[in-house]
A = this chain, B = another copy of it.
Amino acid sequence: MEQEKNKFEHIEYLLTEKRYIEVQRLLADLNEVDIAEFLEEAPAQNAILMFRMLPKTMAAEVFTLLPKDQQTRFISAATDKELVPILDEIFLDDMVDIVEEMPANVVKKILKNTDRESRVLINQLLKYPKDSAGSLMTTEYVGLKKGMTVEQSLAYIKKVGLKSETIYTCYVTDENRILEGFISLKDLVLADSTEKIDRLFNKEFICVNTHDDQEKVAHTFKKYGFLALPVVDNETRLIGIITVDDIMDVMEQEATEDFQRMAAMQPNDETYLQTSIFKLAKHRIGWLLLLMVSESFTGTIIEQYTHLLASMTILTAFIPMLMDTGGNSGSQSSTLIIRGLATGEIDLKDWRKVFWKEFRIALMVGTALGSVSFVKSVFLGRKNPLIALSVGVTLVVTVMIAKITGGLLPIAAKKLKLDPAIMAGPLITTVVDTVSLIVYFKIATFFCSSLF
């Protein structure tokens, strides 16, 4: 990487010296991802200049990697003549992503410079719902017909290979485009060239439907370790394929969405630095308001016990610690369960196991925390032992309630077809806070009545 950095510094120097031929030669040797990163940070004029110097195949890939606003600028700056060969090299699935996000006048310029066939396909792909397998797939795959020989297949791959997103998995269909199976390029290359593919291809295949959610698609990829998956319609006709590189982005995006939901935000698929503060604020305020209003139940409970708190103000001093520890205990459990549900390790039917596990863990952890708190309050804090006992016992009960609630609410959410990720720290804390306050006051009244 250090090496790459030096090369780009050298390119910058060559640009100021207007030694463009050398720049062009250097650029052609670099990786498209690195070039895109470099263009993103270069001054606008230099960026366009360098972009124009790229060989057409590279320009297409670099283009798909650039941020939206830079893509818009490049298209506006390019002549139609420049645009045609670049657009021609872009894979259809990337093209759809671009068209979806560009302003109308730019989309018009793009579609004008795309051949008719691609235009029809783009419009078809645009119809699939966002986050569906259909919106992720590309139609540029290698489709083989039953009855072909290995040699014919390889010759066909040679012909269509350059315009295919992957040639490593080829799909075999019958005359009605019904998917019958697949064969890897590995098997073709390793096989005898005169053999028919009918005996070689895998008839047991895993596929996804155009309307399947991208999360399901990502699961299937991870489970089976495939490089590509076929996408079929309701009649199992082969419509397109999804490749593993696109799925890695989906996996990251799905994890990010879970992180956001679990921190009480509406998920946002733009990056933090590129999102406006108004949008960020909007995604945060809803949950904060809801939780704030729910949390005011705790105020009502406290108001009911003002007589207790007035006669023993010291009880107030433990409230934040009790609520915080309860919240943290609940978050730990809910996080593990939400993650387990997301990766597919935990299932609805496991709720008994989760309950029993969390019950025993909570008993251990709660007792340990309660004991430490009791000893600390009596010996270091010099508190009345009855008060310290009330706090200790409340801790045990609170941790138990928190962990069991944290363990079961995500499963309940999934059962109700809600996203388990909303049952995370913030919501669990609000629920547990209310319950633990009541427990605290009841226990304190019971233990400390002699002190009034």
Chain B residue at minimal CB-CB distance from A28:
B204
A217-274 interface (Cβ within 8 A of B): 221-225, 227, 244-245, 247-249, 251-252, 255-256, 258-260, 262-265, 271-273
A302 to B244, CA, bound (A): 56
Determine which of B168, B285, B324, B332 lies in contact with A365 in the assembled complex, contact meaning CB atoms within 8 Å. Answer: B285
Contact at A298–B320, with CB atoms within 8 Å?
A: yes
**Binary contact track A259-300/B, C-beta < 8 Å → 1, others 0:** 110111100000111000110110011011101110110111
Known: A259-B259, A369-B289. A337 touches B298 (CB 8 A): no
CB distance from A211 to the nearest CB of B (A): 15
Determine which of B264, B323, B343 lies in contact with A331 in the assembled complex, contact meaning CB atoms within 8 Å. Answer: B264
Contact at A321–B296, with CB atoms within 8 Å?
A: yes
Contact at B244–A332, with CB atoms within 8 Å?
A: no
With an 8 Å Cβ cutoff, the count of chain A residues facing the other chain is 110
A353: which B residues are within 8 A, CB to CB?
Answer: 273
Check: A448 CB closer than 8 A to any chain B CB: no
A121-172 interface (Cβ within 8 A of B): 154, 157-158, 161-162, 167-168
Check: A319 CB closer than 8 A to any chain B CB: yes
Contact at A331–B425, with CB atoms within 8 Å?
A: yes
Check: A426 CB closer than 8 A to any chain B CB: yes
Copies in the complex: 2
A302: which B residues are within 8 A, CB to CB?
Answer: 316-317, 319-320
CB distance from A185 to the nearest CB of B (A): 6
A273 to B204, CA, bound (A): 31
A448 to B332, CA, bound (A): 39
Contact at B299–A321, with CB atoms within 8 Å?
A: yes
A5: which B residues are within 8 A, CB to CB?
Answer: none
Contact at A369–B292, with CB atoms within 8 Å?
A: yes
A77 to B270, CA, bound (A): 53
Check: A335 CB closer than 8 A to any chain B CB: yes
Contact at A336–B29, with CB atoms within 8 Å?
A: no
CB distance from A410 to the nearest CB of B (A): 12
Contact at A222–B321, with CB atoms within 8 Å?
A: no
Known: A320-B298, A433-B320. A369 touches B248 (CB 8 A): no
Contact at B346–A272, with CB atoms within 8 Å?
A: yes
Contact at A325–B292, with CB atoms within 8 Å?
A: yes
Determine which of B161, B292, B331, B365 lies in contact with A189 in the assembled complex, contact meaning CB atoms within 8 Å. Answer: B161
A337: which B residues are within 8 A, CB to CB?
Answer: 272
Contact at A303–B292, with CB atoms within 8 Å?
A: no
- Segment of A46-54, A110-118, A307-315 engaged in the interface with chain B: A307-315
10 A-B contacts (beta carbon < 8 Å): A161-B189, A251-B251, A259-B339, A262-B335, A263-B334, A263-B335, A291-B328, A295-B324, A296-B321, A299-B317
Given A319-B319, A327-B429, 12 additional A-B pairs, CB 8 A: A31-B224, A244-B244, A252-B343, A256-B339, A263-B336, A263-B425, A265-B335, A277-B357, A296-B376, A310-B310, A328-B426, A331-B425
Query: Top 10 A-B pairs ranked by shortest CB distance?
Result: A263-B335, A225-B245, A299-B317, A298-B320, A302-B317, A255-B255, A295-B321, A306-B313, A281-B364, A295-B324
